[in-house]
Amino acid sequence: MTATRQPRRRTWPGAALSGVLAAATTLAVAQLVAVLVAPRAAPLVAVGGAFIDATPPALKDFAIETFGTNDKLVLLIGMGVVIAVAAAVAGVLARRRFWLGGAVVVVLAAVGATAGATRANAGTFAVAPSLVGGLVGLVALRLLLSQLPGGRAERRVAAADELRPLAGPDGRRVRGADDENAATDGATTAQPVGTGSTRRTFLATALLTAAFAAAAGAGAQLLSQATQSVEAARRALRLPTPARRAPALPAGVESGVEGAEPFVTPNDGFYRIDTALDIPQVDASTWSVRVHGMVEEEIEISYQDLLDADLVESWVTLTCVSNVVGGDLAGNAKWLGLPVRELLARARPTGGADMVLSTSIDGFTASTPLEALTDDRDALLAIGMNDEPLPAVHGYPVRMVVPGLYGFVSATKWVVDLEVTRYSDARAYWTDRGWSEKGPIKTASRIEVPGSFARLPAGQVAVGGTAWAQQRGITAVEVKVDGGDWQPATLADEANVDTWRQWSFVWDATPGTHQLTVRATDGTGEVQTADRVDTVPDGSTGHHSVSVTVE
């Protein structure tokens, strides 16, 4: 035969691009629908949330240790990459058999819908974002592929041409549908094919689809901002004057070592750890918390009840159980709230109860020993943080703060329910994921200055850091240089036993590489253990060291 074959045109990049654009359209439309009818059921957020809930403790711990407070961003980026790859594959598959690629989209949409419907407090329309998004995505995929050179529209034209001259030389009719080269194979001479669809029309369609997805995404963003009345209400709030103010901080709570962490952690620099991919938007005017379970009297109080109550202010250092030795998952703030013991005194727990299971609006739960909520420590149902209403990420409108316990067993943000119960009857979120059911804070100390691997001039060097043992207080800190003796550090003033305590140490540094190690003694006289223990299941132990080079 004399036919000059056209160079085989590669269509997979266009097909892959079609898949990715269809996925972007799906997500953007789903986002828009979510803002309108089911804010917590946007597929990325719902699937990501379900993923977080299903994450084994070791992986969660790894994520926190590796990415810290960026772990959620990393998860979202990871999901984005996975979806993009799946979408590209779906595009290429759909190019050959539409239902193959369509099936990928359908499966992804089903996963999104299932996740949306099974999140805590999922609304009636929780499946809508993923379903509508998936449908629109399928249409976009079909449309894009039809415009792909060598695609459906072109093949139709080619098929029409084919009727006239040409069966193949062997008389075989070329089946257009799934053959990349249907058009060229069908032609006996090289002729421009694809009058119905050129690279240009495909690109135009792709651009239009991208613009549509971007518009839907932007629309969702704008709409959600317009409906974020919660943040506006939060900003307009004026906190009431406390019935009991926190004592003024002693003048010497800071060690004065340059570069050390501040004694009071500013709200925007406060560590954030939670399982919430999207920050719950809780309307304070409809918020309430219910105290029930093993109580003589059920109680429900509103935000206004809290504003009207005798609130107390208290300095408390919050610490995460996932904090590694020397880590920074700890922060110190002035909290304003109602002592939980006052609520419980009204509810009157019945005999045998030993735990309060607090539940967040997003389903997170914590198991706090009843005793820690009824003794005289300032366990608070908090509404204020450093003279501001709680920031949304830190639990607005109301969270728990319990001195002496790690956050995972006590510090429930966006709290809506307190059930008085027994450890033998109920389990908390992390208890089901390999962590302990109780979490008293272990004595910890860290060197903040100098930093690890710092290079320093010889001579007097200011060493400084922080130590904490909430509820017990810190009574001594010691520093060791290399293998030498423990030497006493100077303690900064103590605010109270529930806050961390700064310390400083003047080191006469000599040239060479040195290791500085710190340890603390708590108010019971117990010296911080050197035994290195991992964070799982109930908090790390071990001494913090830094290596420095003195020149």
* Contact footprint for Mo ion (CB under 5 A): 273, 320-321, 407-408
Residue 535 region, left (φ>0) first, then alpha (ψ -120 to 50), else beta? alpha
Of residues 58 and 190, the one with the C-beta less far from ligand MTE: 58
Of residues 303 and 335, the one with the C-beta less far from Mo ion: 335
Of residues 93 and 320, the one with the C-beta less far from ligand MTE: 320
Provide, rounded to whole angstroms, the least separation between the CB of residue 256 and Mo ion: 30
Burial class, 387, CB count within 10 angstroms (exposed 0-12 / middle 13-18 / buried 19+)? exposed
Q: Which residues bind ligand MTE (CB under 6 A)?
A: 270-276, 318, 320, 331, 360, 362, 364, 394, 407-408, 411-414
Residue 275's binding partner, choosing from ligand MTE, Mo ion, none, with beta-carbon cut-off 5 to 8 A by kind? ligand MTE
Provide, rounded to whole angstroms, the least separation between the CB of residue 452 and ligand MTE: 24
* Pairing state between β 365-369 and 355-360: antiparallel
Residue 176's binding partner, choosing from Mo ion, ligand MTE, none, with beta-carbon cut-off 5 to 8 A by kind? none
Residue 417's binding partner, choosing from ligand MTE, Mo ion, none, with beta-carbon cut-off 5 to 8 A by kind? none
Of residues 58 and 204, the one with the C-beta less far from ligand MTE: 58
> CB neighbours of 271 closer than 8 A, spacing ≥ 6?
69, 320, 328, 329, 330, 331
Print burial letters for 41-63: b (CB count within 10 Å at least 16), e (below 16): bbbbbbbbbbebbebebeebbeb
Of residues 202 and 364, the one with the C-beta less far from ligand MTE: 364
Looking at the DSSP assignment, which residues form a beta bridge with residue 444?
468
Residue 362's binding partner, choosing from ligand MTE, Mo ion, none, with beta-carbon cut-off 5 to 8 A by kind? ligand MTE
Of residues 303 and 430, the one with the C-beta less far from Mo ion: 430
Side-chain half-sphere exposure of 451, counting CA atoms within 13 A: 6
Residue 271's binding partner, choosing from ligand MTE, Mo ion, none, with beta-carbon cut-off 5 to 8 A by kind? ligand MTE
Provide, rounded to whole angstroms, the least separation between the CB of residue 310 and Mo ion: 30
> CB neighbours of 221 closer than 8 A, spacing ≥ 6?
none
d(CA 498, CA 474): 10
Please give the angle made by the CA atoms of 270, 276 and 282, to the nearest 5 degrees.
Answer: 85
- Kindly list the distances between the CA atom of residue 78 and the CA atoms of 53, 61, 108, 358, 452, in Å, as whole numbers in the listed order: 16, 17, 15, 31, 30
Nearest-CB residue for ligand MTE: 407
Of residues 359 and 443, the one with the C-beta less far from ligand MTE: 359
Residue 292's binding partner, choosing from ligand MTE, Mo ion, none, with beta-carbon cut-off 5 to 8 A by kind? none
Provide, rounded to whole angstroms, the least separation between the CB of residue 55 and Mo ion: 14
Short-list 481, 449, 451, 454, CA closest to 465: 449
Provide, rounded to whole angstroms, the least separation between the CB of residue 449 and ligand MTE: 23
Of residues 197 and 322, the one with the C-beta less far from ligand MTE: 322
d(CA 544, CA 447): 7
Short-list 353, 339, 338, CA closest to 296: 353
Residue 446's binding partner, choosing from ligand MTE, Mo ion, none, with beta-carbon cut-off 5 to 8 A by kind? none
Nearest-CB residue for Mo ion: 320
Report which secondary-structure segment, H or E, holds 151. Answer: none
Of residues 66 and 510, the one with the C-beta less far from ligand MTE: 66
Residue 115's binding partner, choosing from Mo ion, ligand MTE, none, with beta-carbon cut-off 5 to 8 A by kind? none
Residue 369's binding partner, choosing from ligand MTE, Mo ion, none, with beta-carbon cut-off 5 to 8 A by kind? none
> Phi and psi of 455, rounded to 5°?
-110, 125
Provide, rounded to whole angstroms, the least separation between the CB of residue 538 and ligand MTE: 12
d(CA 321, CA 535): 6
Of residues 184 and 281, the one with the C-beta less far from ligand MTE: 281
d(CA 132, CA 29): 7
Radius of gyration of the chain (CA): 31
CB 549 within 8 A of CB 513: yes
Provide, rounded to whole angstroms, the least separation between the CB of residue 353 and ligand MTE: 22
Residue 341's binding partner, choosing from Mo ion, ligand MTE, none, with beta-carbon cut-off 5 to 8 A by kind? none
Short-list 498, 503, 523, 524, CA closest to 246: 498
Provide, rounded to whole angstroms, the least separation between the CB of residue 525 and ligand MTE: 27
Of residues 88 and 415, the one with the C-beta less far from ligand MTE: 415
d(CA 397, CA 352): 31
d(CA 387, CA 149): 63
Provide, rounded to whole angstroms, the least separation between the CB of residue 273 and Mo ion: 4
Provide, rounded to whole angstroms, the least separation between the CB of residue 467 and ligand MTE: 18
> Phi and psi of 470, rounded to 5°?
-50, 140
Provide, rounded to whole angstroms, the least separation between the CB of residue 411 and Mo ion: 8
Specify the DSSP class assigned to residue 40.
G
Residue 153's binding partner, choosing from ligand MTE, Mo ion, none, with beta-carbon cut-off 5 to 8 A by kind? none
